[in-house]
Amino acid sequence: MSDSSKIRMGNDELILFIRKNNPGCKLHNEVLGRKIWEWIKENDNNAIQVEKDAPCLWGDNTPNTAPESLPKTATQFEFEINLLPRMYNFLKEIDNN
């Protein structure tokens, strides 16, 4: 990844943000991951999924990994870095819908 206008982030980081800022969200990680990817693709036609099922750095032995808390693995995305402010606003709005 040599283009400085791009960033690589994983669903794990984005789901952690959702869980911390909306602890009442009971959507499974798979649903959240799909919503996040759909939003990224809608906002950056050149976004790509770099790696699927990359192990999360917190590992799979933490008691906080579960479908309704934190994932054990996560898809890694590459997308335009200037999307981050709008993306975090989108993440704050995700609820149980």
C-alpha span between 5 and 1 (Å, rounded): 10
E strands, 1-97, are 6-10, 48-55, 73-80
Residuewise pLDDT in 10s, the chain (97 residues) = 457 899 999 999 999 999 999 888 889 999 999 999 999 999 999 999 999 988 888 766 677 777 777 888 899 999 999 999 999 999 998 875 5
Domain ranges of the chain: 6-93
Beta bridge partners of 95: none
For 33, phi and psi rounded to 5 degrees? -60, -40
pTM surpassing 0.75?
yes
Cα separation, 44 vs 7, whole angstroms: 12
Q: Which three-class secondary structure state does DSSP give residue 29?
A: helix
